[in-house]
Every structure is written in structure tokens, then in C-alpha cells.
Amino acid sequence: MTQSVTSVSTAQDALTPVPADSPIQQFIRRFSRQKLAIAAFFVLAVLFLVSITGPVISPYDPIKPDYNALLQPSSAQHLLGTDEFGRDILSRIIHGTRISITVSLSSVFLGSLIGTFFGLTAGYYGGRYDSLVMRTCDVMFAFPGILQAIAIIAILGPGLHNVVVAVAIYTIPQFVRIIRGSTLALKNMMYIEAARAVGIPDRQIIWKHIFPGTFSVALVYFTMRIGSAILIAASLSFLGLGAQPPMPEWGAMLSSGRDYLMSASHVALYPGLAILITCLAFNLFGDGLRDALDRKIVD
């Protein structure tokens, strides 16, 4: 009798449906498997913390020269050495973290905002409007990104604000293409057809029904574009078109350090490492987000 009761309870437990994980739980479970992405996340968290607390934790004034400590190597007083004006390189890198992250986030956010709008509307409405938007993007894609940014800076003039505009314009067509592709895949779905059938305005369909379906793709690409934006902004500053001396921007520091590669290589080494680590961290974190948000990957 006891065995029959036990078998019945076991059968009932087997038939009891297991509650499904929420989307957030699924994302956390998938992302926790990405070891490199987790490491990149902690690196980015440290960088954001440094960018916020830079003036507090910086050991020296990043702009004030010290002519008694020119081109000194790493020491207890200057952990990363000093530059050609005796300025502490660690302090300049710390302050440059805020500049690089602010410029990259601002430019990518502006470019993604404009690109998402045109990608959603072009993919949804199609026709001549879609052709006009995509042919414009094709023209912009015909020019290498750095040359396009240099041309924009040449028109607007050097400076960090114009670097933000140049990188944002460079980012727009890439977001347009990605968001448009996702919109084309979603606009013929059954729930979109039902929304049209009940008379919901196109504006609400685009922003309340289609845009949420493209958000994960936009988020992943947004994260990965930040690294590229940092690299382009640093390249413009390296060429003298971005941050102007004595601003402690990584690309400008790298530019000034190239004259001392043989005698004091640390002046260019550490800003270059800062650019490398930051770009790599954003790219690895973006790869982890992509894998964690991809529903095609089976747990």
C-alpha cells in the first residue's frame, strides 16, 4: 500500500509543471557563463568608478607642470612616471578616463538615438523613404570612418564637442542598418498585424510594439560601439583635431609621448595601454551581452 502511494505521488510530481525562469533570470544565468564578459564587466565598473572619483583619488594636478621631475620613470612618488613637463602620468590617465568615457558615451548615445529613429521608420514604412535613408547610409559607408570624422572636424573645427558630433555622425548609419533589419523582421509578425487591424496608430506600433523587440540588438551594438568611439576620439586627438593641450586626454597624451619612445617610452606606453584595455573590455562585455540575450542559444 505504501509503495502504491509513493508511486502515485512520484507520478504526480513528474506531471507537475516546473515554473519557467523569468527573462531576467535567464539573462543572469546565461551571462554568468561568460567568464571573459564578467571580467570585462568588473574592469568597466572600475573605469566608471575612476571616472567619477577622479579628482578625489588623483595624487597630483594633471595639468600643473613640475620642471624638477621631467621624464622620470616609475617611482614611489610617481607610479607611472612623469611626462616631458613633469606632470604625473597616473593623474593624467585618471582624469583622461572621465574625458574618454564621457565623449564616447555622448557620441554613441546621440548617434544611436538618431540612427534608431531612422532605422525604425525606414523599416516600418518602406518605399521611397526607406530607399532614401538607405542610399544616404550607403554614401556614408563609402568613406572610411576616420576619414569621415576628420572631414567633419575640418568643417566644424577642433575640440572635444566637435569630436562628439563627428563620432555621432559616423555612428548613425550603422545603427540605421541594424535597427532597420530588426524592424523588417518584426513588422510582419502576427501581433503587429493585429495592432494595425484594431486601428492603433503607426507611432504607437513603432515605439510600443516594434522598438522593444529591437532593444536587445541595439543595446549590444551600443556597448560594442563605445570601444570604437573611444578609439576614434583618441585618434582625432592624436592628430591634433580633438582635445587640445594641456587637456589630459589619452590620444593627446599618446601623441605627445611619441617623441620620447626611445628615451622615455613610458610616456606613450601607459596611455596606449589605457586605450587598449578600455576598448577590449567594452568589446568583450558586448560579446557577452550578445550571447546572453540571444534566444537562439539553447541553455
Cβ neighbours of residue 177 under 8 Å, at least 6 residues apart? 119, 134, 137
User: Does residue 145 surpass a pLDDT of 70?
Assistant: yes
Q: What pTM was estimated for this model as a whole?
A: 0.85
Average pLDDT over residues 12-22: 53
Comparing 13-22, 72-81, 139-148, 210-219, which segment has the lowest mean pLDDT?
13-22
Contact (CB, 8 A) for 156 and 165: yes
Tell me whether residue 298 is in a domain: no
Mean pLDDT within 91-111: 94
Domain-embedded: residue 1:
no
Whether residue 47 lies inside any domain: the answer is yes
Note down the domain range covering 246. Answer: 21-59+77-293
Q: Per-residue confidence at 17, pLDDT binned at 50, 70, 90?
A: low
Separation CA 108–CA 104 (nearest Å)? 6
Residue 15 falls inside a structural domain:
no
Would you tell me how many other CB atoms lie within 10 Å of the CB of residue 2? 6
In a domain, 84, yes or no: yes
The verdict on residue 66 lying in a domain is: no
- Tell me the pLDDT band of 154, cut-offs 50, 70 and 90: confident
Percent of the chain exceeding pLDDT 90 equals: 52
Q: Give residue 297's pLDDT.
A: 53
Position 1 confidence tier, pLDDT thresholds 50, 70, 90: very low
Helix orientation angle between 89-125 and 35-57, rounded to the nearest 10 degrees: 130
The string over 105-129, giving b where at least 16 C-beta atoms fall within 10 Å of a residue's C-beta and e elsewhere, is bbbbbbbbebbbbbbbbbbbeeeee
pLDDT-derived band at 187, boundaries 50, 70, 90? confident
Q: Is residue 174, in this structure, part of any structural domain at all? A: yes
Task: Give residue 82's pLDDT band: very low, low, confident or very high (50, 70, 90).
Answer: very high
Q: What is the C-alpha to C-alpha distance for residues 139 and 262, in angstroms, rounded to an integer? A: 42
- Total domains present in the chain: 1
Average pLDDT over the chain, rounded to an integer: 87
More confident site: 8 or 139: 139
> In this structure, is residue 231 part of a structural domain?
yes
Residue 46 has a pLDDT of 95
Q: How far apart are CA 206 and CA 123, in angstroms?
A: 10
CATH number assigned to the domain comprising residue 284: 1.10.3720.10
What does the pLDDT average to over 40-63?
A: 92
Segment 218-273, tens digit of pLDDT = 888 899 899 999 999 999 999 888 888 889 999 999 999 988 988 899 999 999 99
Predicted local distance difference test score (pLDDT) of residue 295: 61
